[in-house]
Amino acid sequence: MNNAIARLISPRSVAVIGASSDPTKTSGRPVAYLQKHGFEGRIYPVNPKADRIGELPCYPDIASLPEVPDVGIVLLGAKHAHTAVRALSELGCPAAIVLASGYGETDEAGKLRQEQLLQAAGEMRLLGPNTIGLVNLTERIVLSPSGALAIDEFPVGNIGVVSQSGGILGSLLSRAAARGIGLSKLIATSNEVDLDLADFVDYLAEDASTSVIALYVEAVRNTDKFRAACVKARSMGKPVVVFKIGRSEAGARAAVSHTGAMAGADAMYDALFRQVGIIRAQTFTDLLDISAALATRRKLLGKRVAILTSTGGAGTLVSDDLGLGGFETPAPDADTAAALRALQTGSEAVLDRNPIDVTLAGLRPDLLRGAISTLLASPSYDALLVIVGSSSLAQPALLVDPIEECLPTSDKPILAYVSPHAPDVAALLTRRGVPAFAAAESCTAALEGMWQVEQFQVQQPSSASEHVSPEIIASLPRGVLDETQAKLLYQQFGIAAPAEMVVTNIEEAVLAATKLGGKVVLKILSSKITHKSDVGGVAVGLDATTIGPRLTQMSRDVEVATGERPQRFVVQAMVNSGTELILGMHRDTLGTAILLGMGGVTAELFQDTTMRLLPGEATRPMPLSHAEAGEMARELKTWPLLDGFRGRPKADINALTETIVNFSRMVAALGNHLLEAEINPLFVLPRGEGAIAADAVVVLTEGQSSSSKPEPSSMVTQ
Amino acid sequence: MNNAIARLISPRSVAVIGASSDPTKTSGRPVAYLQKHGFEGRIYPVNPKADRIGELPCYPDIASLPEVPDVGIVLLGAKHAHTAVRALSELGCPAAIVLASGYGETDEAGKLRQEQLLQAAGEMRLLGPNTIGLVNLTERIVLSPSGALAIDEFPVGNIGVVSQSGGILGSLLSRAAARGIGLSKLIATSNEVDLDLADFVDYLAEDASTSVIALYVEAVRNTDKFRAACVKARSMGKPVVVFKIGRSEAGARAAVSHTGAMAGADAMYDALFRQVGIIRAQTFTDLLDISAALATRRKLLGKRVAILTSTGGAGTLVSDDLGLGGFETPAPDADTAAALRALQTGSEAVLDRNPIDVTLAGLRPDLLRGAISTLLASPSYDALLVIVGSSSLAQPALLVDPIEECLPTSDKPILAYVSPHAPDVAALLTRRGVPAFAAAESCTAALEGMWQVEQFQVQQPSSASEHVSPEIIASLPRGVLDETQAKLLYQQFGIAAPAEMVVTNIEEAVLAATKLGGKVVLKILSSKITHKSDVGGVAVGLDATTIGPRLTQMSRDVEVATGERPQRFVVQAMVNSGTELILGMHRDTLGTAILLGMGGVTAELFQDTTMRLLPGEATRPMPLSHAEAGEMARELKTWPLLDGFRGRPKADINALTETIVNFSRMVAALGNHLLEAEINPLFVLPRGEGAIAADAVVVLTEGQSSSSKPEPSSMVTQ
């Protein structure tokens, strides 16, 4: 663990630069809140205009401080903050927090200020700028002016929070407190001029008081570091839950003006999160919902949920939503039903169905305890969801106590849905270890999150090892390859293409068609024209008798469309069967990804694609493993088309998997030399017959190596 | 308006049968709550074991009551309730509420009890059984033991609620109260042995104190009545919002055991709701969210939303979600931006983007007022969303007052998102006319609901009028038609089929192929085998030279698969172009619907279908209009395939629309005589070339008329 970060989060002494004696002002709050929440270390307000801040002596400047503080909170505006930062750094202070806005999130001048701030910090670590600071609930240390800290007491728990927005940190702090959800540490990283998301995920992975990590993300700025920190957290048994905005264009645009964050494509984040086992919350509310469920450290080992209710309507509502989420709510097995009946609940009780309706038993703790322990012990269920109805509100203990007493008897998840407005009952349940929710969707999301945690398996990196020597790179063509060159490159990496011949005139074309036999495809061959169909440069279903006139017509069409008469053509054996896919790469700020999609216009309308980021460091990517490639195919919504849907022949999945891996080997090996690569269509033939790249695009860099010249070692993949 | 219903909801005198003097018991609550909430009429407790209930004299039996009460609340169990119901009816009481459970929702004995209860009621109207009663907040009359009524004060407003679950009524009551959402009346219909959902929608449509109707639905039991009531509400300018469960199989199963409701297919409800202009809430929370927004009676006339914030993170979060929901958050136009700048907000303010970040102006009411009225007046925006951050919590009036002052200046919707946990501020805003939400998804759902209300246009019923005489019905074949018979029937309704000939041997087949010319399809012709492909009974792409041997092989294949050698075949001109669709019908408890879906396996995987219930009464359905048919096609996710996607030829939409209307004419005209009908595939050819039913299924009743013998008039459609 980084020592400066540890001191930043657990300081024994804090200097507050620009502290005001007016606790209603933002600049008056940090000192007031430190005291209010019981900070036991030393507080040094710094302000040339004040002698005392409350009881505390106030220092005129940083140089006058009686000791080097563990952390400095800089409350000055953007014009002066860097001066204080420099002074703290010169003093040897390990870390500072800069609250001012007006930096990278604004304009060019702001970006420059941000750069100056970083230089002023020197060796000192910086949190911010534009941050609301951090809150260490475990040790009652609050380094923040957040209005949420006006609350007197916070439930302390095992969920660590990192937010890339200060306002959202305040929102999570107050929302969690109201719901009885205990947090350990909260850190707002905001502009991340120095310390970022990944630094604090790494910190929380080692923090003994944290067992779940919840993140509010606008953009991951350093994929490698983030990935490493998340993998570390998982290896420590700590699930990571993320809510990420920038899912729509409007949100992505807003994020840039908020913290200056440039996010990559949202689908890339989906891939990244899936690959490192991060649970992605679909709504902001879910971020706390899922975290609260995971904080119980209970394990969901199946999808069968028992719903115990005393109010039919809410039971129906919750089972309906669980059903939508893919959970099952089976009726009790015979033994469980008999055990429930033996409890002799009221005559109105419905015990042989699920929801299990105990009607009036909600007011009889002994019966409730019996029903809960019966359901927890039942082999029919993997989790228990208790519905809290209006009847429990007058004396919540009659409901809460029996549930709590049953907790130690089982490791299965136990959640609660609170049907009436009863936030106090929900908070009481949550504090006692039974996460309680006010929305059916929250119950489903929480269980889904618990399920995903158990499903994740660390992918073994591909064992493929290869070396593309600088000589081979040097021997490659430059820029846009034509189709034949591209296929040759693919073939070097083991990707099959149809038999084909390059021709320049009718005679050669007829000869080629004769030689290839059967139906052939005629295409223009050009490194300038990438969308051949659009200019009339593709014709299918030809043979030796029809290819001649078609070539003449194609020459004319292409000349009309492009102004240039095509000189070369490819005659290609036509692929007559198989399923059409698209295999490509995508590179943005997050890294390099392999994209697999179903081909054809219908699938395109449904955007049926999936992505995987290449593992390894961004500058030294590794190929995908066969397991990952196989998973990609199975993730397609149209996977059944490859899997024998409606009597279709099963496709050659092995060949598809092999092609995806080989494609990723090529992308990894060529690194920054490769700008674009796509196979469209990739035909996957029936089982045992292979997969064939029927068309190919490759764009390489123009120079011998790319601008960010990779080291030779970056070409070694393993 | 039904007089008994009016007296049920606004009684001047209430008898409480089985009232207890213990207000903590369920049977003690109705009298206690009537008094607590200020009922000004007369209360008559009935209980042979008590002389007084509190201050009130108690009557030994119903016969002893001093007057005929407007309503009787029956608190007795299922064993005795019918006795009290009979006595009330004999007294001439207009309506009674039966709370007991143990009726239709349980078993056969319960169903019988429910039938007895109805008979005991005679002329008297019944609410329930298994209900929690009703709450008339407008007049402070509560006829319910719901624990939610322990709350002292409820905001009174213009949202009327009907719930098919009693527990959910309590949940809505307490949740709305906590959020400052004003309700008018709440009625729980539950088992609906007599009065149902539609009765109260009809009542609320005329209720002067209600302007939005919110429904919690498990199943619509009488489609015609429900449809009429909803149309009436819409014609009175009152939007209807529905949350319906039974979306998943688990939920549908639970609903049966909850109130005995058998729901139809959820997609049928979607169609029904869409057709009558009902807004469907996607979550239970949305039911109140959308209703609260509509209760302002403001109109959303476009999709451009201004977000005014003092906290960047929450603004980003909300704009991200609005973007996902299809709303736009454009930057202010030049004039609006200039007007904002002229307000001279703080230097940190970001005014030329959206979210419009006023940073510190949240604490300066004058600036806030200026910004709000500028944005409301701006031609760039159709709605305003104000973000409430932590900074507003200490003095909410500084935020709430300026917003409220601006309300009269504009008819545009104004909503609020509250970022920290601050339910009191949210409730204050909502009570003052600015619906406030704690989730970004709620803001989006509320705006989407407002948008849908403005989009709905009442469909003019089809003007097609026709009469299928009993003679024609009598002349139709019976049972399963073979493909040729089915196509002949379709052709009578103007639906085109390919040229085809029926053959019995090779010679006739060759002759037919020669006559038809081009490529042909060979199919077995049988009224027994409906899935011809599955038994090897379909071959495509044949001609006169290949059809002979193929027929021989088909005979053999089908005999192997079915044990019977096929005797007759169809030779059909092959359709070589066009887009493949499926056109069919679906009938369940809700009514009869026309189903349109994209054909082909890929679209099938995405379940790309849409439905329309036939208009008119269930027993006298009318055809779809051309406008409705056209809308169906455009609702398909794969509509672009018909509309020239990626350079495909535009399809003959007119012919498709005509075919849908004609198909619906046939379904309407044949009424109950028709059991099944499907065209699969329906080929829609390029524009001007028509639409062709390439295969056809029709199943008619076996007898001359169906079991529920339709009147001759039911065959007349107009």
ipTM: 0.92
> Is cis: bond before B332, omega within 30 of 0?
no
Place of tokens 């008094």: B35
Give pLDDT, residue B706.
40
Q: What is the pLDDT of residues B508-543, one digit of tens each?
A: 999 999 999 999 999 999 888 878 888 899 999 999
Residue B676 confidence class, pLDDT cut points 50, 70, 90: very high
Give pLDDT, residue B715.
32
Interchain contact, A178 vs B245, CB within 8 Å = no
Among candidates A633, A646, A640, A638, which has minimal Cα distance to A691?
A633
Contacts 24+ apart (CB under 8 A), B544-550: B544/B510, B544/B513, B544/B514, B547/B506, B547/B509, B547/B510, B547/B513, B547/B520, B547/B522, B547/B571, B548/B506, B548/B509, B548/B510, B550/B522
Residue B359: how many other CB atoms lie within 10 Å: 20
From chain B, pick out residues whose CB is under 8 angstroms from the CB of A363: none
Any CB–CB contact under 8 A between B109 and chain A? no
Q: What is the pLDDT of residues B326-352, one digit of tens each?
A: 999 999 999 999 999 888 766 656 677
Q: What is the pLDDT of residues B85-100, one digit of tens each?
A: 999 999 999 999 999 9
Q: At what angle do helices B365-377 and B397-406 cross, to 10 degrees?
A: 30
Give pLDDT, residue A250.
78
Secondary structure element (H or E) that encloses residue B598, with its range: strand B591-598
Q: At what angle do helices A197-206 and A223-235 cross, to 10 degrees?
A: 20
Q: Is B132 left (phi over 0), alpha (psi -120 to 50) or beta?
A: alpha
Residue pair B260/B191 in contact (Cβ under 8 Å)? The answer is yes
R_g over Cα of chain B: 31
- Which amino acid is located at B501 in the chain? M
Rounded to a whole number, what is the distance in Å from the CA of A122 to chain B's nearest CA?
27
Closest B-chain CA to A352: B257
Q: What is the pLDDT of residues B362-384, one digit of tens each?
A: 568 888 899 999 999 999 999 99
Summary mean pLDDT of chain B: 90
Give pLDDT, residue B217.
96
Any CB–CB contact under 8 A between B80 and chain A? no
Q: At what angle do helices A334-341 and A365-377 cross, to 10 degrees?
A: 170
Q: In DSSP terms, which residues pair with A59 in a beta bridge?
A: A46
Q: Which two tokens stand for residue A295?
A: 């904080």
Interchain contact, A320 vs B645, CB within 8 Å = no
Q: Which one has a higher pLDDT value, B679 or A478?
A: B679
Residue B2 confidence class, pLDDT cut points 50, 70, 90: low
Any CB–CB contact under 8 A between A316 and chain B? yes
Give pLDDT, residue B604.
79
Among A246-260, B413-427, B553-567, name the one with the lowest average pLDDT.
Answer: A246-260
From chain B, pick out residues whose CB is under 8 angstroms from the CB of A249: 323
Largest CA distance in chain B: 100
Q: What is the pLDDT of residues B642-652, one digit of tens each?
A: 998 877 889 99
Q: What's phi and psi for A82, nearest 5 deg?
A: -65, -30
Q: Which two tokens stand for residue A683?
A: 């035909």
Any CB–CB contact under 8 A between A283 and chain B? yes
Interchain contact, B254 vs A329, CB within 8 Å = yes
Residue pair A351/A341 in contact (Cβ under 8 Å)? The answer is yes
From chain B, pick out residues whose CB is under 8 angstroms from the CB of A319: 248, 250-251, 253-254
Among candidates A241, A64, A39, which has minimal Cα distance to A144?
A39
> Is cis: bond before A129, omega within 30 of 0?
yes
Any CB–CB contact under 8 A between A148 and chain B? yes
Interchain contact, B167 vs A419, CB within 8 Å = yes
- Between the alpha carbon of residue A302 and those of residues A274, A277, A337, A423, A481, the distances in Å are 20, 18, 20, 29, 51
Q: Is the pLDDT of residue B718 over 50?
A: no
Residue pair A460/A627 in contact (Cβ under 8 Å)? The answer is yes
Interchain contact, B251 vs A316, CB within 8 Å = yes
Round to whole Å and give the CA distance between B383 and B447.
9
| Exposed/middle/buried for residue A413 (C-beta within 10 Å: 0-12, 13-18, 19+) | buried
- Which amino acid is located at A624 in the chain? L
Round to whole Å and give the CA distance between A21 and A37.
17
**Residues of chain A where predicted confidence (pLDDT) is lower than 70:** 1-2, 256-264, 345-350, 359-363, 459-469, 703-718
Q: Which of residues 13-52 of A touch B (CB under 8 A)?
A: 24
Among candidates B426, B446, B442, which has minimal Cα distance to B434?
B426
Rounded to a whole number, what is the distance in Å from the CA of B170 to chain A's nearest CA?
6
Tell me if residue A631 falls in helix, strand or coil. helix
CA B385 from centre of chain: 28
Place of tokens 């053959």: B503
Residue pair A596/A610 in contact (Cβ under 8 Å)? The answer is yes
Q: Which two tokens stand for residue B220?
A: 């619509």
Contacts 24+ apart (CB under 8 A), A553-556: A554/A522, A554/A524
Helices within A356-434 (DSSP H only):
365-377, 397-406, 423-431
Any CB–CB contact under 8 A between B531 and chain A? no
Among candidates B675, B674, B682, B670, which has minimal Cα distance to B632?
B682
Q: Is the dihedral of CA B513, B516, B521, B525 positive or negative?
A: negative
Give pLDDT, residue A717.
30
Interchain contact, A420 vs B640, CB within 8 Å = no
Tell me if residue A687 falls in helix, strand or coil. coil
Strand residues in A426-537 grouped as ranges (E): 436-437, 466-467, 500-503, 520-524
Q: Which two tokens stand for residue A545?
A: 């008798």
- Between the alpha carbon of residue A49 and those of residues A21, A35, A68, A72, A288, the distances in Å are 10, 21, 21, 18, 42
Round to whole Å and give the CA distance between A399 and A393.
9
Residue A412: how many other CB atoms lie within 10 Å: 20
Any CB–CB contact under 8 A between B389 and chain A? yes
Among B126-140, B272-286, B607-621, name the one with the lowest average pLDDT.
Answer: B607-621
Q: How many CB pairs below 8 A link A and B?
A: 268
Helices within B248-388 (DSSP H only):
249-259, 266-275, 284-294, 312-324, 334-341, 365-377
For the sheet with B279-280, list strands across it. B141-143, B134-136, B183-188, B156-163, B212-217, B240-244, B279-280
Interchain contact, B421 vs A321, CB within 8 Å = no
- Which amino acid is located at A105 in the chain? E
